[in-house]
Amino acid sequence: AKTMRLVRIVGVCMAVVAALAAGPGRADDANPADAVIQRFIDASGGMAKLSAIHSRVYESTMKVGWIKLDAKTTLAWPDRILVEGKLPVVGTRVTNGYDGTVAWNGSGMGAPRRLQGREFQEFVLGQRLDRMTRLFELYPKRRLLPPKAGDSAPQVEMTTQFGSSEVWTFDPATGLLQAAEGDHDGGPKKGPVHVFTKFEDYRTVDGVTLPFRALL
């Protein structure tokens, strides 16, 4: 299993106008899935506090077997992304980023590769700082799935603007995201990859509740 633990999260808060705090996209009262999503937003700190975070820097460690990757991620509102990583054993540096126009992946062993198509869309969507404030817009189709026998955890199928979908499972007690599962673009060499991610160790930083561990 892959384990990613967020070591440090620093948020820089800025004042925002009421219109921004409301966030684009709104819940549909007639859609039962939206009550689950709204509870998740509220449990994460609420729209106003989520919108007030205009930059974030966090350090993480990812382990895959004996391979360890230390990374630093810098995010700026709404969608500027820079991920800088290092493989300590071999000293190789990797970078991923998005400057508002171009997204790239660099392994330190040649020229960076430009991300395109679904790989580009998924990278920006998964990392962008404003995602939580725009869930109803970025995932225009949301469907509450039938409950599983003996399991009270609500599940919502979330479909993106570009047609891909994931199933999100929520903690029935807290309303926070427990797990996400779906197919993702693994790049030109891997193709589609089915990914199941479990989120744990939630902590509150600058009024926003975030998972400090992800298990893949």
Residue 2: pLDDT above 60? no
Average pLDDT, the chain: 85
107: phi then psi, degrees, rounded to nearest 5: -95, -5
| CA distances (Å), origin 170, targets 39, 167, 175, 194 | 10, 10, 6, 19
Hey, which residues does 106 pair with through a beta bridge? Answer: 95
Read off the pLDDT of residues 67-125 as tens digits, 9 standing for 90 and up. 788 899 999 999 999 999 987 666 678 899 999 999 999 876 678 899 999 899 999 99
Read off the pLDDT of residues 16-43 as tens digits, 9 standing for 90 and up. 222 333 344 678 889 999 999 999 999 9
How many C-alpha atoms does 115 have within 13 Å on its Cβ side? Answer: 23
Q: What is the predicted pLDDT for the residue at 94?
A: 86
User: Residue 184: CB partners within 8 Å, gap ≥ 6?
Assistant: 122, 164, 192, 193, 194, 195
Note if the pTM is more than 0.85. Answer: no
**Rounded CA gap, 32 and 53, in Å?**
28
pLDDT band at 190 (very low <50, low <70, confident <90, very high): low
Read off the pLDDT of residues 41-52 as tens digits, 9 standing for 90 and up. 999 999 999 999
| CA distances (Å), origin 96, targets 61, 82, 124 | 15, 6, 10
Q: What is the predicted pLDDT for the residue at 89?
A: 64
Q: What is the predicted pLDDT for the residue at 184?
A: 78
Lowest mean pLDDT across 10-19, 46-55, 153-162, 173-182: 10-19
